Amino acid sequence: MGILHLIKSIVSYCFVKVHLEILRPLIILSPMELGSIMHFLQDKTILVTGATGFLAKIFVEKILRVQPNVKKLYLLLRARDTESATQRLHTEIIGKDLFRLLKEKLGTRFNSFVSEKLAVVPGDISQEDLNLEDPILGEEIFNQTDVIVNLAATTNFDERYDIALSINTLGVLHVLSFAKKCVKLKVLIHVSTAYVCGEREGLILEAPHHFGVSLNGVPGPDIDMEKKKVEDKLNQLREEGAIEHDIELAMKDLGTQRATMYGWPNTYVFTKAMGEMLVGTTKGNMNVVIVRPTMVTSTYKEPFPGWIEGLRTIDSIVVAYGKGKLVCFLANLEAVFDVIPADMVVNAMLVAMVAHANQPSDIIYHVGSSVVNPVMYLNLRDYSVRYFTEKPWINRDGKPVKVGKFTILRNMDSFRKYMYIRYLLPLKGLELVNAASCQYFQKMYLDFNRKIRTVLRLVELYKPYLFFNGVACFAHRFDNTNTEKLLSSARQGGVETELFYFDTKMIDWEDYFINIHFPGIIKYAFK
């Protein structure tokens, strides 16, 4: 059902009618002292949370490949014990094709090198002290860690509220508390998302969120209240004897309700925003840098072009189209969508790490493309049509899939009409036939009804991204003044900019999508 793939991922953005040169001078940045990234990484010890995640793997591979003299990378993995964590390391991290170049470079020394440089840490950021059960290992990390990179998160828009709150919000609190015990810590990099901006219009500045301040005029969230809401709801459901499926749905609904009440469109960005708020209220004198990437796509250059893991954001649309299942597309084709290759995000993180190590900072970096090198949905459509026309996907039967035109839906009215004619009318007809045949088609009817209700639920969940003020666009772009300043300082300060590149102006989007990203999706994500 192509519409289901579409609704899950599509996010459209409109051009911002704001004169950037007027706003940018209002942001005052202190000078940054930079130097060689390679020199900084030498003999450093880094703790990485969320180590099995997409960006985390690229981060780990980059350091091991370019600076083998790094001292140690502690990888926090959700696991029962060291044995389970080690198994996850081999199957979910170094076993990936991402590490192919490093394996080729080291040959038979690869396993010994990995054993020397990577240390798995069974733990869980949703628990206090990261749930470390080995006190000796804990003391070792406290005494040795120079940098912490917090990449742990659940990125599901429709996540259970209890889970999202425990990882994306309270997890930040636990990481900060842990970091305060690290005696050598120079900087903590907290990776968030640009979409913590919620539904605000205009130019989104690299500015913090605060507790007590919402996005829609009501009093802002209070972390203790949100925890109590979750606890009360869970207790109520258990007292009523609710089954696990019903508890899951209730927790998802609660997250959506709390998010929309405060002005955020979904549980994911709401809990990530609260995580950022906790950084502001609890970091104290700690040196913390917040990095907010936009939609992260496959690697641009390193370790090789096009590596990706799973379907990410717009990729669901591309896959649905390539498989001949995309029957409609919800977007303003003139709208900008903000994408950034994963290796550029990692490079920006590494440069920010060096720029702010041992230098007090309270800074946020947007890492994206919508301001300096925008790409539109019109481009994405044209690139997709061209690519899959010239290089059709070969299905399991060994036959090429022919792609064609698809319906463009520009607003909610056109979507409702489309759904009514294509799905709801046939569903009503099936309901009548089922009743007349003494429920002979009951299974078919229930299955069809379930799929349609799922689509309608997802539309409500993603509607703020799909349609803003009735049109298919989201009226904002992400200012990157701080990131441009970081880039300028890197060029002037001895950073190996050819190796740690993150200037999106260098991207030719047509070449990237047709020759890098789409082939990468087909190789790693088409199933």
Exactly one of 13, 268, 365, 387 is catalytic; which is it?
A: 268
* Distance in Å from the first CA to the final CA of the chain: 15
Query: How many H-runs (helices) and E-runs (strands) does the chain carry?
Result: 22, 15
Instruction: Respond yes or no: is residue 272 known to be catalytic.
Output: yes
Which residue in 482, 477, 479, 178 sits closest to 351, CA to CA? 482
- Residues 383-407: b if buried by 16+ CB within 10 A, e if exposed: bbeebbeeeebeeeeeeeeebeebe
Query: Are 327 and 3 contacting, i.e. CB atoms less than 8 angstroms apart?
Result: yes
Query: Are 56 and 48 contacting, i.e. CB atoms less than 8 angstroms apart?
Result: yes
Mode of pairing for the β-strands spanning 328-330 and 288-293:
unpaired
Residues in CB range of 12: below 8 A, 6 or more apart: 330, 331, 332, 335, 337, 377, 465, 466, 472, 473, 474
Cα separation, 280 vs 377, in Å, equals 35
Task: Return left, alpha or beta for 374; rule: phi > 0 is left, psi -120 to 50 is alpha, else beta.
Answer: beta
Amino acid at 294: T
Query: Are 263 and 199 contacting, i.e. CB atoms less than 8 angstroms apart?
Result: yes
Exactly one of 272, 300, 365, 423 is catalytic; which is it?
A: 272
Cα separation, 199 vs 269, in Å, equals 11
SS3 364: strand
> Phi/psi at 305 (nearest 5 deg)?
-70, 140
Cα separation, 443 vs 502, in Å, equals 52
Find the length of the chain.
527
- Residues 205-228: b if buried by 16+ CB within 10 A, e if exposed: bbebbeeeebbeeeebbebeebee
Q: Tell me the two tokens of residue 229.
A: 């809401």
Instruction: Respond yes or no: is residue 268 known to be catalytic.
Output: yes
Q: What angle do CA 155, 320, 15 make, to 5 degrees?
A: 65
Catalytic residue IDs:
268, 272
